[in-house]
Amino acid sequence: MLNRLKLEPSRILLNLAVIFIIALWTFPTAGLLISSLRDKNDIAASGWWTALSSADRKQVGRMKGSADQVEKDGKFVIFGNLFDGADATSGKVSAFGTKVQTPGANAAGSTVALDAGQSLTVGVDGSYVLTSPTKFTDERGGRVFFVSSQPPRFTLDNYQTVLFSEGIGRSFINSLTVTIPATIIPILIAAFAAYALAWMKLPFRGLLIAIIVGLLVVPLQMSLIPLLKLYNAAGYFMGVPSKTYLGIWLAHTGFGLPFAIYLLRSYIAGLPKDLIESAQIDGANDFKIFRRIVLPLCFPALASFAIFQFLWVWNDLLVAIVFLGSGPDQLVLTGKLNALLGSRGGNWEILTASAFVTIIVPLTVFFSLQRYFVRGLLAGSVKGG
C-alpha cells in the first residue's frame, strides 16, 4: 500500500509539465474570452485580469447648451450629468478638469472658476452645475474631462458586430463549401494510396514512400506559386475559370495528401499480417479487404487526419485568397473577419469575439470525431475468443 502512495520523481515531473502546458494554453484563452465580453474602451484602458475589479478611466463628457439654461437668483444656471453623454458610462467621478491634459486637476465635489465669471461644480455621481452671471451663448455646450471609477461591466456588443455584420453569413457558407470537400477528398485518395503502399506489391514502392516523406517538409509558401501557375495553365487549356471552388479543393488536397498518406500508411502497415493473409486465403481481393477489414480498423487514423485537415482548411486565409479570390461572393470567414478589423487594425477588440466565433465549428467537429475516434479504438481492440 505504501509503495502505491509513493510517486516516482519522473512521474511528478511529468504531471508538473502537463499542468504547466495546460496553464500555458488556458490563461491566454481565458483572457481572450474575457476580453471579447468587455467594452472596447475598457479593453484599451486596462488588461483582462482587471475585468472583475473597478478601474479608473479617463473620459470626456459634453455639457448641455444654452437652450437648457435657467435663471436662478439673478444668475444663469445649467444642470446636467456627465454620464448622460454617448461616450460615458455609469460610474463614480473621482476628479475632473477643463483641459484634456489635466483631466484630474480638481477633486469631485469642488467648484472651479472659469472665464467670464463662470463657475463649474462636478459631483461624484457625475452631476454638474454650470453658473454664469450672464446668459450662455454656446448652443453646443462645453466639454469636461474627468476620471471615473468604472464597475465591472460586460457586454455582447463585440459579438453582435461580428455575427450581424453584412456578409458574415455568406462568408460562413463559403468556408463550409471550401472545408468539407477539402477534408473528404484527401481522405478518400489517401486511404487507397496508404493501403497500396502498405500491403500491395508495387514497383518502386520504397521510392514512392521516400518521396511522400520528403514532401512533408516542403513549405506551403514555396509550392504555392508553382502550383498556381500549373493550375492556371491547365485551366486555360481546358477552358476552366481560375477562381473556382474546384481549384481550392485541389490545392488543399495536394497540400494535405503527403501527411494523410504517411499517417494512414503507418497505421495500416501496423495491422496484423495474419488478418490480411487469412482474408486473401478466403479469396478476398484487395478492394474487398480494404473495404471490409482495413477501412473499419483504420477509422481512428481517418478521424485524426480529418480533425487536422478540417482545422487547417477552416483557419486558412492565404490559400483561400490565392485560389478563390477576395470578392464578396468568394471571401471566406477568416477573410471577412479580417476585413472587419479595418486597414489599420483600430477595431482590434473585434478580433477577440471573432476568435471564438471561428472556433465554434472546429470544436463541434473535434468533439464529434473524438466520439468516433474512441469507438474506433474499441472496435479495433476486440479480439475473438
As a whole number of Å, the end-to-end CA separation of the chain is 35
pLDDT for residue 375 = 55
Burial class (CB in 10 A: 0-12, 13-18, 19+), 236: exposed
User: Do 75 and 29 lie in a common domain?
Assistant: no
For residue 306, how many other CB atoms are within 10 A of its CB?
Answer: 22
- Adjacent-strand bridge partners of 107: 95
pLDDT for residue 43 = 75
pLDDT for residue 307 = 87
User: Do 262 and 367 lie in a common domain?
Assistant: yes
Number of H helices, E strands in the chain: 16, 9
CA atoms in the 13 A half-sphere facing the CB of 266: 10
From 112, 127, 151, give the residue that closes a domain: 151
Cell numbers 504531471: residue:
15
pLDDT for residue 275 = 84
pLDDT for residue 5 = 47
pLDDT for residue 87 = 47
From 122, 151, 180, give the residue that closes a domain: 151
CATH number at residue 209: 1.10.3720.10
User: Do 227 and 342 lie in a common domain?
Assistant: yes
At residue 106, the 3 state secondary structure works out as strand
Q: Can you list the residues of the chain whose pLDDT is less than 70? A: 1-7, 41, 44-45, 55, 85-90, 166, 235-242, 341-348, 372-385
User: Do 15 and 99 lie in a common domain?
Assistant: no
156: in domain: no
pLDDT for residue 101 = 79
pLDDT for residue 227 = 78
Give Cβ neighbours of residue 120 (< 8 Å, ≥ 6 apart).
98, 111, 112, 114, 128, 129, 130, 131, 144
Domain count, the chain: 3
Long-range residue pairs from 367-371, CB within 8 A, at least 24 positions apart, any chain: 369/303, 369/306, 369/307, 370/303
Range of the domain at 209: 161-381
From 50, 69, 87, give the residue that closes a domain: 50
Q: What span, in angstroms and rounded, lies between the C-alpha atoms of 312 and 320?
A: 12
User: Do 167 and 297 lie in a common domain?
Assistant: yes
User: Do 188 and 300 lie in a common domain?
Assistant: yes
